[in-house]
Amino acid sequence: MFARLSLFDDGRLLAELQVRPTWNDQIKEKQLLDESLVPHFGLVENGETVDFSLNSEGVLCFRGRVCVPRDSDLKQSILQEVHRLRREVPDFVGKCLTCQKVKVEHQLPSRLLQPVKIPLWKWVRATMDFVSGLALTPTNKDSELVIADQLTKSAHFIPVHTDYSL
């Protein structure tokens, strides 16, 4: 954690607080002790590898991702922190007014609308569908065949049993 106070000439006080996870420092220390990662530091310094690199804080990365050394305590602390964040982030987003106002589209933009052809006479264009899973009638029918006219929107409901063939 980093805290800085600035006092301006007009008497205003600016407080700045930066919180940074200590994982990077712990990972960097443990990487230098991990026998499987130490040779890669030499390869990076000599420019002999393109897969491994050092980030701005000097932590060894493989294709842009941090290499976590084989240390069970470090891995456990990282997993616990991520698990805690996974619960806290949805709570924060749920209470944030800005996040609630922003609605990002998660679908492709639709194409141009096509007009629906309107039939000239009723019952020229009809649709049929089954509604199933209904309560059993006295005549042992548990589904409905629905036939609807597209012009007048009138419909016929025919009770059927689900094991009827088409």
pLDDT score of 56:
86
Is 115 within the bounds of a domain?
no
Is 23 within the bounds of a domain?
yes
Which residue has tokens 């309560």? Answer: 135
Could you report the per-residue pLDDT of 94-128, keeping only the tens digit for each? 888 877 777 666 777 778 888 888 889 999 999 99
Is 145 within the bounds of a domain?
yes
pLDDT score of 1:
55
CB 92 within 8 A of CB 62: no
| pTM to 2 decimal places | 0.45
Q: Are residues 69 and 8 in the same domain?
A: yes
Is 136 within the bounds of a domain?
yes
Is 112 within the bounds of a domain?
no
Give the per-residue SS3 of 84-133. Answer: HHHHHHHHHHHHCHHHHHCCCCCCCCCCCCCCCCCCCCCCCCEEEEEECC
Look at the chain and report how many structural domains it folds into: 2
Helix (H) / strand (E) element for 159: namely: strand 155-160
- Label residues 15-37 b or e (16+ Cβ within 10 Å = b): eeeeeeeeeeebbbebbeebeeb
pLDDT score of 60:
92
pLDDT lower than 70: segments of the chain: 1-3, 17-21, 103-105, 164-166
Residues 6+ away with beta carbon under 8 Å from 2: 17, 18, 19, 20
pLDDT score of 159:
92
pLDDT score of 23:
79
pLDDT score of 156:
95
Range(s) of the domain holding residue 134? 126-160
pLDDT score of 126:
92
pLDDT score of 165:
65
Is 44 within the bounds of a domain?
yes
pLDDT score of 127:
92
